[in-house]
Amino acid sequence: MPLPTDPLLSQQWHLHNPNPLLLDLNVFGVWNPAEGRAYTGAGVRTVIIDDGFDYTHPDFDNYDQSLDFDFVGGNDYDPFGLGSDAHGTAVTGIIGAAADGTGAVGVSYGASLVGYRTEGLINDDWLVSIAEAIGYASTNALGDTINISQGIANDLDSEFGNGYNAARFDAIETAIGTVVDSGRGNLGGTIIKSAGNSRVGNYDVNSDDWTNDTRQVVVAAVDQNGFVSSYSSYGAAILVSGFGTPGEVVTTDRVGADGYDLGDFTSTFNGTSSAAPMVTGVVNLMYDANGGLGWRDVQTILAMSARHVGSAVGAGHAAPEQFDWGFNAASTWNGGGMHFSNDYGYGLVDALAAVRLAETWLFTGTAAATSTNQFSNYVDVLNVATIIPDGNLTGTNFTGEAFFNDYVERVTVQMTFSTTFMGDVEIYLTSPDGTVSQLIADQAGGLDFNGTWTFETQAFRGERAAGNWTVRVVDDAGGDVLTVSDIVIRTFGMSSANDRYVFTNEYSDYAGLFGHVQAVVDANGGVDTVNAAAVSSASVIYLNGVSGFIDGTDVSFSNIENAIGGDGGDQIFGSDIANQLFGMRGNDMLNGLGGDDTLTGGTGNDTLNAGTGVDSLSGGVGDDVYVIDGSDIIDEDVGGGIDRVASSASYQLAANVEYLTLTGTAALTGIGNALNNVLNGNSGANTLNGITGTDTMSGGMGDDVYVTDGGDIISELAAAGTDRVMSSAGHSLSANVENLTLTGAASINGYGNSLNNLIYGNSGNNVLGGGNGNDTMNGTTGTDTLIGGLGDDVYTTDGGDILTEAAAAGTDRVYSTASYGLSVNLENLTLIGGAAINGYGNTLNNIMTGNGANNVLGGGNGNDTLNGTTGADTLIGGLGDDVYTTDGGDTLTEAAAAGTDSVFTSASLSLSANLENLTLTGAAAINGYGNVLANSLTGNSGNNVLGGGDGNDTLNGAAGTDTLTGGTGADTFIFNTALGATNIDRITDFSVVDDTIRLENAIFTGLANGALAVSAFAANLTGLATDALDRIIYETDTGRLMFDADGSGAGAGVQFGVLTAGLALTNVDFFVV
């Protein structure tokens, strides 16, 4: 939120002092923070009890006339007052003059303002109206804060109620109780009361039974330089200080000539009357930051955030100061006790520090501190009348023990005594830890006193109550008698072991001094919290005993569970137990370590590292990074920045988180949310699912699966595994992604890329396009259109699909679960499933394969290959040189003059009409027979019977001992396999006139190609070579055919065949190839 532009703001030094050597309220950081929410008091209502209010003032846009009241005279609803009643208008402007671009601006310019006018100072009617106004401010106006910049006549003649009706003070006390007990829905309202302007008269607020009520925030005044103002009343009941420099505070004035100055504003306002509304404005800002605070919380926060000003601690005091600064014996403020002075209370209010603590005060589950849960000790110290030695400066000590070890917030001492000269009386209270608070000293001049009075002190805040409390009473001059007959001490505070260790920008000032330790060890159990929210610089906080730093100074913590950072870029480390860590502002790093932790980043770009355990993480506003192990829970605000999760386990992004990166090497699943996510895999096989939104997914290495709704960007590295996209909408594969599966039932389309893609449709009517590459496409159910594109593609169809293939776009195959005829440019067809279905080719050279049922395969035109596999299939080659593969139980149909066709069979087979060639497959002893055509018959490795039938046939028994019968015609018998005793073929009907034996020269070595030479042939009864040139020998009496490799007869010839004996066989019956 930008700063106000009101022209007088530059003169309101109390809001922002242009002189860096002087002080201000430090409010600009609350109104206009570098990051995070700004606070102006919006939603908070202040009731100002004063002399009159010019609600027509142009800077009172936020004044609520529907709730104001005039308690003067007959009581009415118009507190405007007289022209001279300017005090209330000035006070109101300090609290909440509107930020409207004109005039001045208030500390809490967004607060709602209500004026209550009371009787003029100072009389009995005035006290009556004060009591009524305080009560009604809470019950009728429902004020969150009540400002009272008024007090009794602070002079020697009016102290200790002299000249006043005591019942009026009792009524005021009752009204204060109404505010703190039941105001703000029983959280308690906050009354801010000026201490008074009677320092010159040596006036202590403890001599006023109203001003010393510590249920109020009693405010002293300081100058710009931080020293107490020369007029500011003092006393132990003061909590904090504001500014009251004489003649220098700029605020609103009555409009026109009325009021302090002639214009609508004044620059001469001062006194504790100006200091109190400054504190009221700060409290309004605190309530804006945290409306759940109790009234006791407000007091503690003000005290802990207040700044030391004036003389140095331990250096004595300088005029107009009357008291030295000292530290009490608390242990939870900056590693030790809190500074206090009867001149200043705990110091000058610091708006930014107070608001930062207010924001975080209830973070760790501590209940608001109210009247209901206020704890007290009652210590009955004295019940016997005791005369105090006259003129003895040592005085008399009265000691009583408090047994309940609660945290002290404020203490009262009720004493019944009598004296004929109050000016000689001094009263001191000492805590069990040795802190001394002066309750009263040398007051009231020559007045006497005989009755009961309650003295109050704020000085022991944060100390423990248990132990001996001592009241020291001194009669410091002779001539008068001081008798004390009853003393009761009451401590008020909090009974809890859940400690708050608060750190501020003053830690570096006192670390290691005055008992402020740098190794904080909690020794009383409970769930404790380090709160460094008021620290503006970066902190490093370890809860496991390791040394870090706050405010640039070393510190360590042990036995403390929770930690809260400040405005800097903090690093906070938990421990092995369950921790709550809060980063607040700045770019923080939170590390849960062990235990089930809660990590809250706050504003800024935070890194939250869960560690082990089931942790809960919330980044807040800013671009946050979550490091988790998958079992953790992330809660991110809407519009809370661009956030990232790094997970070592499968994980689905919580709402409002944008980025997910999977870590490690395991096969993990990463799921997005409704936002536009970026999902990054690790080196394992990941599944990434962006769900809704326009997501960007990158699997990295590994065989990854992408689940998309079609609007996502998928980025994959080259050679980074075999990846698949599962898409519920139309999708085109991006580079380096191999496979695509369409999901759902919608009629959507899917397209490949240049890789070898696997593309699957869904149950709708899909268009699948393979693109370049050797693609595999399956439309599954539906009437799909499959377009292979370039490459050797594979189509799977249920028969109802349209398959489109470009000419010369690769050698493609169709797998069909139903009868199917190949469309143009598709080469191959395989029937799948168990149904008796049929397949038909086209004009190309098709490869047709059946399934296990009885299929009809038709090759069509082209040189087709048909294989029915199992089942009694019908194979129809059609035109072209076709190849049939059969198991013997099929019907092979070939048209006449429809090409030269070949049959491969694993069972005995006789070629049907119009089939030319037969090859036996496998190793079984099966047989093959030709037809009337010129057949080529080839055996397998078994012992086959081959019969050529009619026609000029070619028979090749191949391996094994085969029986070859050429039948009619000029037949050729081929020997081209390795010779041996198990590979001797018998030719049953060799005709020397028509038939030929063809020899393979690689087997029959040494023979020249072509017709066998005359010299290389011999026919005799021995079967042996007769000279060195004989190679092929026909044993005429047995019909054996021998091969002599060297023709010498030195080695035995090798038989390779058997013919009919006695043939007139010559060399011309052999041909070598």
State the catalytic residues: 50, 87, 273
How far apart CA 854 and CA 3 sit, in angstroms, is: 89
How far apart CA 564 and CA 366 sit, in angstroms, is: 14
Q: Tell me which H or E stretch contains 474.
A: strand 467-475
How far apart CA 978 and CA 629 sit, in angstroms, is: 68
- Cβ-contact 275, 243 below 8 angstroms: yes
CA 691 to chain centre: 17
How far apart CA 849 and CA 87 sit, in angstroms, is: 106
Beta strands in 860-908 (DSSP E): 865-867, 874-876, 883-886, 891-893, 902-905
How far apart CA 174 and CA 742 sit, in angstroms, is: 77
* Nearest in space to 453 (alpha carbons), one of 131, 206, 214: 206
Other C-beta atoms lying within 10 Å of the C-beta of residue 20:
6
Phi and psi at 9, nearest 5°, equal: -60, -35
| Residue/partner pairs of 324-329 with CB below 8 Å, 24 or more apart | 326/435, 327/510, 327/514, 327/515, 327/516, 328/431, 328/433, 328/435, 328/459, 328/460, 328/461, 328/462, 328/463, 329/431, 329/433, 329/434, 329/435, 329/460, 329/463, 329/515
Other C-beta atoms lying within 10 Å of the C-beta of residue 5:
11
Give first-to-last CA distance, the chain, whole Å: 101
User: How many residues are given for the chain?
Assistant: 1073
- Cβ-contact 111, 95 below 8 angstroms: yes
Proportion of the chain in helix, strand, coil states, percent, rounded to 5: 10, 30, 60
Other C-beta atoms lying within 10 Å of the C-beta of residue 255:
18
How far apart CA 1016 and CA 707 sit, in angstroms, is: 76
- Helices (runs of H) and strands (runs of E) counted in the chain: 8, 81
Distances (CA, A) of 1025 to 61, 258, 1052: 135, 153, 9
How far apart CA 276 and CA 220 sit, in angstroms, is: 8
Q: Sign of dihedral through CA atoms 490, 492, 495, 499?
A: negative
Structure tokens, 398: 């009265």
Q: What letter does residue 93 receive in the DSSP assignment?
A: H
* Nearest in space to 828 (alpha carbons), one of 846, 842, 815: 846
How far apart CA 591 and CA 589 sit, in angstroms, is: 7
Q: Tell me the pairing of strands 339-340 and 326-327.
A: antiparallel
Q: Which residues contact 1052 (CB under 8 A, 6 or more apart)?
A: none
Q: Which residues pair with residue 686 across a beta bridge?
A: none
Distances (CA, A) of 278 to 33, 105, 106, 113, 182: 20, 12, 9, 14, 25
Other C-beta atoms lying within 10 Å of the C-beta of residue 314:
11
Q: Is 162 exposed, middle or buried (0-12, 13-18, 19+ CB in 10 A)?
A: middle
Q: Which residues contact 79 (CB under 8 A, 6 or more apart)?
A: 52, 53, 55, 68, 69, 70, 88, 115, 116, 117
How far apart CA 285 and CA 437 sit, in angstroms, is: 31
